[in-house]
Amino acid sequence: MNTFLMPMVTVSSIVFVIGLIGLVINRKNLIVLLMCIELMLLAANSNFVAYARVNHHLSGEVMVFFVLAIAAAESAIGLSILVALFRHYKSIDARCLSQLKG
């Protein structure tokens, strides 16, 4: 194994676990939920880059662009839902989402 790979995978695993713990523990604030999902996507991107650098392939860097596109779409949709929720309920509590069912 390369000397670059183990620290990078360790750091990205720690970041992923922090995002996962934040996602599981926090069920109220939608902004924190979106930030936790972004942390998990950042950890996946770090792994893609680390393995692509070790294996000398561009496929990891190409995959990062797809993940970034998904993250941008997730942020746009999540923030628009957040704005709609705040306009209707004057709160960003995630428990209010169950009341939006039609």
pLDDT digits (tens, 9 = 90+) for 26-79: 877 888 888 898 899 999 999 988 888 888 888 888 888 998 898 889 888 888
Q: Structurally, how many domains does the chain consist of? A: 1
pTM listed for this prediction: 0.79
User: How many angstroms separate the CA atoms of 47 and 2, rounded?
Assistant: 14
Q: What CATH number is given to the structural domain containing 47? A: 1.10.287.3510
- Output the CA angle 48-21-14, nearest 5 degrees: 40
Q: Write out the residue range of the structural domain in which residue 30 sits.
A: 5-100
